[in-house]
Structure 1
Amino acid sequence: MTDSTVFDWRSFLLKWSGEWADSLPDGEARGEGDEAARRARWLGFPAASEERIAAMEERLGRQMPPSYREFLKVSDGWRHAGGFVRLLAGAEDAHWHNNESGLADIFEEYLDEDAGPEERREADLWRRGLQLDVESDITHVLLDPEDVDEHGEWAVYTWSSWRAEAPARHADFTAFMRDMHREFHSLQARRSDGEPVFANDTTRQLDAQVEEARLEALRGGWEEAVKALDEAKGYSRARAAGLGDQIRRLLGQTYMVYYDGLVTDPLYAPELLPPLVAEHAAHSYRDDSTLMFHLPGADDDLVSLAFATLDQVRDGTYRYTAAGPYGEAVERARELAQWGDTDGAWRTLMNALPRWQPLGPDHLAPLGWVADPLLGPLLTPERGRELLSTPRAGQPGEAPSPTAGLDPGGLAWLAESYRGNNRASYRFVLVEGTEPKELPGRLTDNDADKDGTVLNEPMTFRETLQRSRYNRSEFSSYDDRALMAVGRAGTGWSFAFDGEPAPFTAQRFVSPAATAGTDTRAVVVWSGLRAPHGKPFFHLSVARDGAEQYAFTYADGEIRRSGDIPRALDPSRFFDDLEDSARAERPLLEAVAEEFGASLPRHAIVNGRLHTFTSRSWTRPPRQGETYMTVRLQPAAMHPAEGERLGDNGPEAGKRP
């Protein structure tokens, strides 16, 4: 709410009038009233007396809100309120709208049958509002006598037929006039090339404010900076939107963030194009026609760069780079992130941030990394605030407290249900003293994979599922090969994780622990204690130097065990209540983590990208007399080979010889 008792209407209106007069091009044809206003440098009229205002209130049957009353005491009406209201009412012309426009009928027609009182009250605005627009470009200005604050101020609503929006609300008449002053400035700032530069005390003050906000943002004072930039943006001051959008993007605010005026500058494009393109890729559904809307004035080279970056973002190959010490930290962070240590990757970036250098004077923070498939998932709103609060580019200031890590450590988080982790079954292999890139050599049958170099490019959990389901041409009822994500599992361990395994079959399950643990130690866990369908189960097996040491399987309400199981992992300690076996999941995972000192990175598995590979089958082949089914899918463009029956490429059932 604007305090009308302290608002200096005369100074404000005189400044506005002078700016308007100076903005008129020489020789432009004007009406008699506008010409007189230009010469007088006054858009208003003589002040309304207290008697005139009282007569108005008696005619309307209501006391006018304080801010409008104070305005009338300075000017009884106003010319050119913004860009679309040519004449604003004074004491004589203000009148109840009484659905003069017919808009009440239109807005009521669009109400749903179950519309509530508030929605109906909004539509009724056009019957009860006090109309202030006298001459306008199909723009209505109404004071609402039912939207009143504690100071007696009435809200102002504006609506234009060509804007196709709901009426805009202004807290009171002072706020409305200040918004119209901003609108006047915004329109003038967008003058065509060749017209005189629009410059005055207001624009110079705002431009100085933008520069100070830029320095304040680099010092870590982003909250004050973004307020100052947003105010200048309302007046369409150059640089304000482009600078403010950089702050908003790091806060996770992506709507209407286009880095106006900067993204098409070749100096800044390497940092600002990738996040713009990544946001487009996330919502375009392969319709790229709108991308050019956000690249006004871009030359051919920049357009080519934009679409090349778009292709890289979509196929997951975009790689962010930076110069100097910060660029070296980026490479170290990518190495950590690709094996699951996202907290370590973030700390690496933050520790190097004070040494980061901008590409130019309008660059506030590193931004291209948010489009990197490995680094982008590191960003959260909390981390964005930490980055923005950190002094950089040689500016002084105090570093903020580090944000908490996103990985809780251990394994117990797998037993929690929350957004992004609603899996009821999962399985993983832990291998001691082995790098993640070596796991395919321990968990595959293919000799070509034995060198440990065959890993897919990093994928999200969702992409992993899609590839697992849609890139297969053969499905077998006995073969259970898993597309597993790999990474580091704490100090001295690596992991292979499958977040959506096939159904568990205790009779044919073969633990990969022994083969994974050749010349080292390996742990296998497969849990389905919260499976909504089927019976709950849990398996643990531990092997050393290629031989299984101990194992147990809980399934069908029974526990089968082998080897000398340590007391800390004894299943009888966890499955004392076989009727409620789901309660055993968390303490079991805690015990496994404690016994082996291993953990799985929650953030990387749930939200990040990890390398993947296809493991050997987790089930044994069928035995003599066991029936199985194999389904092979033939591409539509392929034809059966000569002498091959088409039916042989569909479902087939048989017995293992």
Structure 2
Amino acid sequence: MTDTTAFDWRPFLQAWSGEWADSLPADEERSEADEAARRARWLGLPPASEDRIAAMEERLGRRMPPSYRRFLEVSDGWRHAGGFVWLLAGTEKAHWHDDESGLAEMFEEDLDDDASPEERREADLWRRGLQLDVESDITHVLLDPDDVDEDGEWAVYTWASWRAEPPERHADFLEFMRAMHREFHSLQARRSDTEPEFANDTTRELDARVAQARLEALRGDWERAQESLNEAKAYGRPRAAGLGDQIRRLLGQTYMVYFDGLVTDPRYAPELLPPLVAAHAANTHWDDSTLTFHLRGADEGVVSMAFEMLDQVRSGTYRYTAAGPFGEAVVRARELARWGDADRAWRTLLEALPRWEPLGPDHLAPLGWVADPVLGPLLTPERGRELLSAPRAGQTGEAPAPVAAPDPGGLAWLAEPDRHRDFTSYRFVLVEGVAPEELPARLADGEDGDGGGDGGRGERAVLSAPMTFREARRKSLEGRREFSSYDDRALMAVGRAGADWSFAFDGDPAGFSGQRFVSPAAAASAGARAVVVWCGLRARHGSPFFHLSVACDGVEQYAFTYEDGAVRHNGETPRALDPGRFFGDVSDAAGTERALLAAVAAEFDVLLPRHALVHGRLHAFTSRSWTRPPQEGETYAVIRLHVGGSALPADGARAADGGAKDGAEGR
């Protein structure tokens, strides 16, 4: 906190006045008072005597706060406080606002019934505040006698209806005046090139701090760099916003991150356009003209590159590339990430970071990878801080401590609710000694593993491009016209499940029926070992159930199913997986599920990658049905759509056991 009583107002006000005078165009028409201020290089008025200040305090019935009082001793008022307050009150014109603006009722109407005392106090500001604005662009400046700190300073609130924002609070009058000085600088920095060059001691000092902040950021001291860049940005200094936005984006922030002043530079566009375009594509409410607005001033080549990237990001085909050893690491990291090994992928990028080559002097870190559909999900705020803390581009510094991996390992995490994705029912297949890309041939029964078409037979099962589960579900339903309650083909994401295991995972299965279920373990285990788990102990609908089956070389070794409060066995289950250890009391469904999953993970030394399954994009395919064909006398439902070629919505495929839809047939 600044000691406002010790602050020397005169040098600050004199420097501000000189900067203002030098910024004025020579041929500009101005008022007589402004012209006098320009010649005198002084925006203030004569100082107020102690008697004059005391008379003011007697008139108002309150002693003025220290910083405002010290200001009055130097200047009894101020012209051009920022860009929208043309005259600030001194001892004569400061007065209690007493709802002179009529705004109290409007602010009080906006309060909810459960508004806090602080919110109500702020709404009452218009009745009790001390008004300091005398001439302004409909901008109010009020000292609040009820918002007082331990030093006796009153907070200052500013508000303008045209800003469509709540009143802005400043801790004291000194902080308010510093903010107005920053506003003056920021507005001057945006002027046209035909006006006088805006350069002075303040701008030169800030530009030097920006240059130093860049070096600090490359050395890994990003927090100090960000502090300097934020201040320079508030003053409108060029480069500060573009440099600071690179730090903010790696911290996971996208709001108001536009890389101003750099993204339109062809040198930096290959790295800065992808994250800007990805943020734009993620906001489905934005028109593409918004992107054009943020590229104003760019040449045709940069604009064309941006919209080409936009098409790639939307279609999931964008691929980040980089030069040199770091680019080679990007290729290796993508290969790891596409099979779910997010932690090794991240470590691969970090280890290559010291050899990363910036595209120019204002490039602080690799950024284009955050738009890559496979690499982008690696970013977390913790990992972003780790990257920013690592020295790079030839700079030296202390290497950061590795952040904890977001993947907990094992399987038990599936029993823990997650705010992003809670798998209350799921099924998966684990196969030992088999690569993930080989799983469709073992599990898909020759069907089109990409999920497209009409589910015809005879095509070789293939993996989709890496997708989120939602994207894969939508694609799997494209063109489908028939849905059967006996056709339970699982849409499965694939990846690595440990040192020598692969997985196929379905996080949104159909309902479980022990009488109709056929485990895919035997088919998946040809020349290998396979484990199948189907869990619904916390299922939102239906009774709790759990199935485990293990097969080797095409033969089921053992299995058990818990359903309707009973356990059915097949073969001899190892003691570590004996269902009697787990199903004595399932009132704590999550606890039972957690214990079972931990036992499976320990028995086979396997894991499922939480980060990849919840946040990432993985290859997927559609397996053969997990339900046996209907037997003689059994009834089931088939839905065939005859509705102008349109497909069911993504969540509509589960309706097969319910009522028939338009054009459906029952059997």
Deviates more, 1:578-587 or 1:153-162: 578-587
Deviations along 1:291-334, whole A, 9 cap, x unmatched?
22211112222222212211211121111111111011111000
AA aligned to 2:663 is G
Contact 1:539 1:554 in 2 (8 A): yes
Which residue of structure 2 aligns with residue 571 of structure 1? 579
Matches within 5 A, 1:545-556: 545-556=553-564
AA aligned to 1:390 is A
Question: Is structure 2 residue 557 aligned with structure 1 residue 557?
Answer: no
Q: CA deviation at 1:470?
A: 6.3
Deviations along 1:474-520, whole A, 9 cap, x unmatched?
21011100110000000111000001111111111111111110111
Which residue of structure 1 aligns with residue 614 of structure 2? 606
Which residue of structure 2 aligns with residue 499 of structure 1? 507
Deviations along 1:515-550, whole A, 9 cap, x unmatched?
110111111111111123211111111111111111
Which residue of structure 2 aligns with residue 523 of structure 1? 531
Question: Is structure 2 residue 639 aligned with structure 1 residue 626?
Answer: no
AA aligned to 2:484 is S
Q: CA deviation at 1:196?
A: 1.9
Which residue of structure 2 aligns with residue 108 of structure 1? 108
Which residue of structure 2 aligns with residue 17 of structure 1? 17
Which residue of structure 2 aligns with residue 277 of structure 1? 277
Which residue of structure 2 aligns with residue 642 of structure 1? none
Contact 1:49 1:73 in 2 (8 A): yes
AA aligned to 1:258 is Y
Superposed structure 1 runs of 4+ greater than 3 Å apart: 109-117, 447-453, 464-472, 578-583
Q: CA deviation at 1:584?
A: 2.5
Contact 1:270 1:368 in 2 (8 A): yes
Deviates more, 1:627-636 or 1:244-253: 627-636
| CA distance in 2 between partners of 1:93 and 1:560 (Å) | 89
Q: For residue 195 of structure 1, give the secondary structure of its aligned residue in structure 2.
A: coil
| CA distance in 2 between partners of 1:115 and 1:254 (Å) | 30
| CA distance in 1 between partners of 2:284 and 2:661 (Å) | 41
Matches within 5 A, 1:138-153: 138-153=138-153
Question: Is structure 2 residue 602 aligned with structure 1 residue 588?
Answer: no
Contact 2:483 2:638 in 1 (8 A): yes
Contact 2:447 2:624 in 1 (8 A): no
| CA distance in 2 between partners of 1:448 and 1:590 (Å) | 34
Deviates more, 1:410-419 or 1:266-275: 410-419
Q: CA deviation at 1:275?
A: 0.7
Matches within 5 A, 1:13-412: 13-285=13-285, 287-412=287-412
Q: CA deviation at 1:389?
A: 0.5
Contact 2:638 2:664 in 1 (8 A): yes
| CA distance in 2 between partners of 1:382 and 1:466 (Å) | 31
Which residue of structure 1 aligns with residue 427 of structure 2? 427
Contact 1:465 1:500 in 2 (8 A): no
Deviations along 1:200-242, whole A, 9 cap, x unmatched?
1111111111000001000000000000001011110000000
Contact 2:432 2:501 in 1 (8 A): yes
Q: For residue 421 of structure 2, give the secondary structure of its aligned residue in structure 1.
A: coil
Contact 2:446 2:459 in 1 (8 A): no
Question: Is structure 2 residue 469 aligned with structure 1 residue 461?
Answer: yes
Deviates more, 1:349-358 or 1:525-534: 525-534
Contact 1:249 1:257 in 2 (8 A): yes
> How many residues align structurally?
646
AA aligned to 2:392 is R
CA pair 606-46 structure 1, distance change in 2 beyond 3 A:
same
Deviations along 1:125-179, whole A, 9 cap, x unmatched?
1121111111222221111111111110011111223222222111111011111
Question: Is structure 2 residue 471 aligned with structure 1 residue 482?
Answer: no
Q: For residue 156 of structure 2, give the secondary structure of its aligned residue in structure 1.
A: strand
Deviates more, 1:295-304 or 1:385-394: 295-304
Q: CA deviation at 1:81?
A: 1.0
Q: For residue 26 of structure 2, give the secondary structure of its aligned residue in structure 1.
A: coil
Contact 2:321 2:327 in 1 (8 A): yes
Contact 1:485 1:611 in 2 (8 A): yes
Q: CA deviation at 1:100?
A: 1.5
| CA distance in 1 between partners of 2:265 and 2:587 (Å) | 66
Deviates more, 1:384-393 or 1:83-92: 83-92
Q: For residue 457 of structure 1, give the secondary structure of its aligned residue in structure 2.
A: coil
Matches within 5 A, 1:444-455: 444-446=444-446, 454-455=462-463
Q: CA deviation at 1:637?
A: 4.9
Deviations along 1:418-444, whole A, 9 cap, x unmatched?
212322111100111111001000001
Contact 2:280 2:286 in 1 (8 A): no
| CA distance in 2 between partners of 1:527 and 1:320 (Å) | 38
TM-score norm. by structure 2 comes to 0.94
| CA distance in 1 between partners of 2:98 and 2:491 (Å) | 68
Which runs of no fewer than 5 residues in structure 1 stay unpaired?
A: 639-646
Which residue of structure 2 aligns with residue 508 of structure 1? 516
Q: For residue 424 of structure 2, give the secondary structure of its aligned residue in structure 1.
A: coil
Q: For residue 192 of structure 1, give the secondary structure of its aligned residue in structure 2.
A: coil
AA aligned to 1:12 is F
AA aligned to 1:298 is A
Which residue of structure 2 aligns with residue 650 of structure 1? 663
CA pair 37-285 structure 1, distance change in 2 beyond 3 A:
closer
> RMSD across aligned C-alpha pairs, in angstroms?
1.9
Contact 2:77 2:88 in 1 (8 A): yes
| CA distance in 2 between partners of 1:557 and 1:469 (Å) | 35
Q: CA deviation at 1:387?
A: 0.5
Q: For residue 159 of structure 1, give the secondary structure of its aligned residue in structure 2.
A: strand
Deviates more, 1:373-382 or 1:626-635: 626-635
Q: For residue 237 of structure 1, give the secondary structure of its aligned residue in structure 2.
A: coil
Question: Is structure 2 residue 597 aligned with structure 1 residue 597?
Answer: no
| CA distance in 1 between partners of 2:351 and 2:150 (Å) | 49
Q: What's the % identity of the aligned pairs?
A: 74
Which runs of no fewer than 5 residues in structure 2 stay unpaired?
A: 450-457, 647-659
CA pair 471-11 structure 1, distance change in 2 beyond 3 A:
farther
Contact 2:447 2:460 in 1 (8 A): no
AA aligned to 1:144 is D
Question: Is structure 2 residue 543 aligned with structure 1 residue 535?
Answer: yes
Deviations along 1:81-138, whole A, 9 cap, x unmatched?
1111111111111111112222223323433455443333222211211111112222
Deviates more, 1:127-136 or 1:503-512: 127-136
Contact 1:424 1:528 in 2 (8 A): yes
Q: For residue 466 of structure 2, give the secondary structure of its aligned residue in structure 1.
A: strand
| CA distance in 1 between partners of 2:109 and 2:608 (Å) | 56
Contact 1:278 1:371 in 2 (8 A): yes
Q: CA deviation at 1:447?
A: 6.7
| CA distance in 1 between partners of 2:216 and 2:91 (Å) | 45
| CA distance in 2 between partners of 1:348 and 1:206 (Å) | 37
Which residue of structure 2 aligns with residue 643 of structure 1? none
AA aligned to 1:102 is G
AA aligned to 1:234 is A
Contact 1:522 1:543 in 2 (8 A): yes
CA pair 52-611 structure 1, distance change in 2 beyond 3 A:
same
AA aligned to 1:476 is S
Contact 1:48 1:91 in 2 (8 A): yes
Q: CA deviation at 1:453?
A: 6.7
| CA distance in 2 between partners of 1:466 and 1:571 (Å) | 37
AA aligned to 1:336 is L
